[in-house]
Amino acid sequence: MNKVTAIASAAYQLYKRLPFLVRRFILAYAFAFVWLFGIILHAHHYGSLAEPFLIGGAIGAVWASGAHKLFLLILRIVL
């Protein structure tokens, strides 16, 4: 078990050494692939199983890309 935690810790340390934009790029792609997995499940008619992947992937991709800041700006202008 210590080997697993050592590998996970080393991977996390390597991830934290990356520049901020590269980390955000990796997160955005990871969430996009979660969303894509949800699309594949939905296409195979596993709708109830696909919903968490679709919602989580979409929200995560918007957050990781920083697009939520644009939405907040638009909401402030409109409201």
List pLDDT tens digits, range 3-41. 999 999 999 999 999 998 899 899 989 999 999 999 999
What does the alpha-carbon distance between residue 48 and residue 13 come to, in Å, rounded to a whole number?
36
Residue 10 domain flag: no
As for how many domains the chain has, the answer is 1
Indicate the angle between helix axes 20-43 and 47-65, nearest 10 degrees: 160
> pLDDT confidence of 57, banded at 50, 70, 90?
very high
Give the N- to C-terminal CA distance of the chain in Å, as an integer. 53
Q: Domain residues for 70?
A: 20-78
The pLDDT of residue 1 is 67
Query: Residue 62, exposed/middle/buried by CB under 10 A (0-12, 13-18, 19+)?
Result: middle
Is residue 64 a contact partner of residue 24, using CB atoms and an 8 Å limit?
Answer: yes
Question: Is residue 7 situated within a structural domain?
Answer: no
